[in-house]
Amino acid sequence: MNLNDFLKQIFDYDPDGANIHHLMAVHGYSRLIAQMENVDEHTLLITELAAYLHDIGVKISKEKYGNSQPAHQEAEGPAIARKFLEPLSLSEKDVDRICYIIAHHHTYSAIDGIDFQILVEADFIVNVMEGYCNRESVPQMKKNVFKTDSGKYLLEKMFGSV
């Protein structure tokens, strides 16, 4: 399966324009941070696929629980993500890794690798820009959660000296 078909499946599954915009923005920042951090190609692939799928649990969470609270997204997302990843012929280890990131992407204490770290940083940047996170939380997040020099650099450029 090529990338276009992969993305079309995701967009067809959840055709909400705001959700599509969000995943594409998170992907863009994830890719940018990963490239600025000079990660290897395999790490870049895992990071990008996790970015495309990180919020795949939003739709079913809204249907099942009436909201898309982070805990619901983390609980529901991995099973759906596995279905999207299956045709990509990834190793089981890679699928498990992507699903782990999806299952914990709002649980900052679970960050255990550069791929996960980059996704969290990119998601936070986009969430602030989209108004889902308060700009006043930027200094605290920079201090306590952001670890990459590139993510910190982007925070400073986008939100001022924090």
How high is the pLDDT of residue 1?
85
Please list, in sequence order, all residues whose beta carbon lies within 8 angstroms of the beta carbon of residue 53, skipping any fewer than 6 positions away: 10, 23, 77, 81, 84, 85, 98, 102
Query: 69 is written with which tokens?
Result: 């609270």
For 142-159, the pLDDT digits (tens) are 999 999 999 999 999 999
What type of residue sits at position 149? D
**All domains in the chain, ordered by first residue:** 3-159 (1.10.3210.10)
For 68-118, the pLDDT digits (tens) are 999 999 999 999 999 999 999 999 999 999 999 999 999 999 999 999 999
Query: 109 is written with which tokens?
Result: 């204490």
How high is the pLDDT of residue 28?
98
Residue 162 binned pLDDT confidence (cut-offs 50, 70, 90): low
Mean predicted confidence (pLDDT) in 25-45: 98
How high is the pLDDT of residue 21?
97
Average pLDDT value for the chain: 96
How high is the pLDDT of residue 76?
97
160 pLDDT more than 90: no
> Dihedral of CA 13/62/117/26: which sign?
positive
Mean predicted confidence (pLDDT) in 60-71: 95
136 versus 161: the higher-pLDDT residue is 136
125 pLDDT more than 90: yes
- Identify the CA nearest to 29 among candidates 150, 162, 159: 150
Q: DSSP assignment of the chain, as one string?
A: --HHHHHHHHHHH---HHHHHHHHHHHHHHHHHHHHTT--HHHHHHHHHHHHHTTTTHHHHHHHHSS--HHHHHHHHHHHHHHHHGGGT--HHHHHHHHHHHHHTT-GGG--SHHHHHHHHHHHHHHHHTTSS-GGGHHHHHHHT---HHHHHHHHHHH---
